[in-house]
Structure 1
Amino acid sequence: MRLIASLTSPYARKVRIVLAEKKLDYKLELDDPWSATPAVLAHNPLGKVPCLLLEGGDALYDSRVIVEYVDTLSPLGRLIPERGRERAEVRTWEALADGLLDAAVGARMEMIWPARPEAQRCQPWIDRQLGKIDVSLAAMADHLGDKPWFSGLHLSLADIAVGCALGYLDFRYPAVVWRDRHPALARLMDKLSQRPSFQQTLPPTA
């Protein structure tokens, strides 16, 4: 398998962590989806990463589709329950974590995208996205509480997705002091940060 990704994409990081947790081999192909001619465009019409290329040339996207497929490739450490309420719960928390990322990425692009002049930047829209981050963090923290993991007694995709969202806030929004306000999430992130899969996929600092 070949994974087209960016080292700074939190969605791609989620896929890379799942691949590492499942102990599956793949070739990482780096691409910049914001360039004029991203390589991923040849495989994903949306021009977004991550994109997983399978033998035979078939392509899978987006991250939620990829991680669901990858989780079926090995019985080792299933990250998504096979059926029922537990499965829906894990996928719901993944959806909320991805939604937080959508808001964070959207707000950041509104603030820094070079093609938009400063006078055209919309602060109320940015504030609306930042508000989504705040309420999402509160919902995550309230659900986690004193539990060791988001769903069940073991690591699941819900924890990985939330960890990637929190990691992105650390990376792009260091002024958001979520640890002070949500100690339950801080405990979870401390635990996730000790896993090799999270350590090996940290975004570059420069």
Structure 2
Amino acid sequence: MKIIGSVTSPYVRKVRVVMAEKKLDYSFELDNVWGADTRVQETNPLGKVPCLMMEDGSAMYDSRVIAEYLDTLTPVCKLLPPNGRERADVKVWEALADGVLDAAVLVRLERTLRPREQQSEKWIERQMGKVHAGLHVMAKDLGEAPFCMGNHYTLADVAVGCCLGWLLFRFPEIEWRGEYPNLARLFDKLSERQSFKDTVPFEP
């Protein structure tokens, strides 16, 4: 299998963390979707990363789809419950983390790709409102539990850890560590896992 992606994308990082936790072998092909030489649209018509290339040449895209598929490939470190409400709850955590990222990414694109005079502060404020609301709910739902789903490490923790890591990387001005010490504790614990250590985002 091959992952097409970037070292800065939190969605790519989520898939790479899952790969590592599941002890799956893969190759990693770098692609900057904003670069003039990007080729990701040849495999993903949406032009987004990550894109998982299968052995038969077919492509799978969207980090949530890929992560769910990867969890079925081996019983090592099961990240999703088999069915029912508990599985849905993990997916809700993942949707919340990805939703915070979606909003923050839109803000970053507005600030970096659009000329200053064309930027919409109302749009930025609306998206940042989603980021802060999402962080608040994450902290409330985590409470004093060791992991998002209680005592068990799941895909919810992978998604939340990648979200928080990207916010530290791209939005260090958001003081979520001080405001939500329980999220900081969770993030610090996740950051000790080898899968997270090996996938810390950086500017290439």
Query: After TM superposition, is the score higher than 0.5?
Result: yes
Map of 1:3 onto structure 2: 3
Partners of 1:128 and 1:72 lie apart in 2 by: 37
Partner of 2:166 in structure 1? 168
Q: Following TM superposition, by how much is the alpha carbon of 1:26 offset from its aligned partner in structure 2, in angstroms?
A: 0.2
Structure 2 match to 1:30? 30
1:101 aligned partner: 101
**Structure 2: distance between partners of 1:111 and 1:192:** 30
Give the fraction of aligned pairs with identical amino acids, expressed as a percent. Answer: 57
Partner of 1:45: 45
In the alignment, is residue 142 of structure 1 matched against residue 120 of structure 2? no
More moved, 66-75 vs 144-153: 144-153
- Please report how far the alpha carbon of residue 152 of structure 1 lies from its aligned counterpart in structure 2 after TM superposition: 3.8
In the other structure, the counterpart of 1:72 is: 72
Q: Secondary structure at the match of 1:60?
A: strand
Task: Say how many residue pairs are matched.
Answer: 204
Shift of 1:56: 1.0
Query: For structure 1, which runs of at least 5 residues remain unmatched after alignment?
Result: none
Letter in 2 for 1:24: L
Question: 2: distance between equivalents of 1:120 and 1:205?
Answer: 26
Kept after mapping to 1: 8 A contact 2:103/2:131: yes
The one-character-per-residue Cα deviations of 1:134-191 (angstroms, maximum 9, x if unpaired) are: 1100100001011011114221000110011100110000111101100110010010
Instruction: Describe the SS at the equivalent of 1:28.
Output: strand
**Which whole-Å CA distance do the structure 2 matches of 1:189 and 1:44 have between them?**
31
State how far apart, in whole Å, the 1-side matches of 2:56 and 2:26 are: 15
TM-score by length of 1: 0.97
8 Å Cα contact 2:14/2:159 also seen in 1:
yes
Q: For 2:180 and 2:151, how far apart are their aligned partners in 1?
A: 21
Are 2:7 and 2:201, in contact at CA under 8 Å, matched by a contact in 1? Answer: yes
In the alignment, structure 2 segments of 5+ residues that lack a partner are: none
The TM-score normalised by the length of structure 2 is 0.98
Cα separation, partners in 2 of 1:152 and 1:146, compared to 1, 3 Å? closer
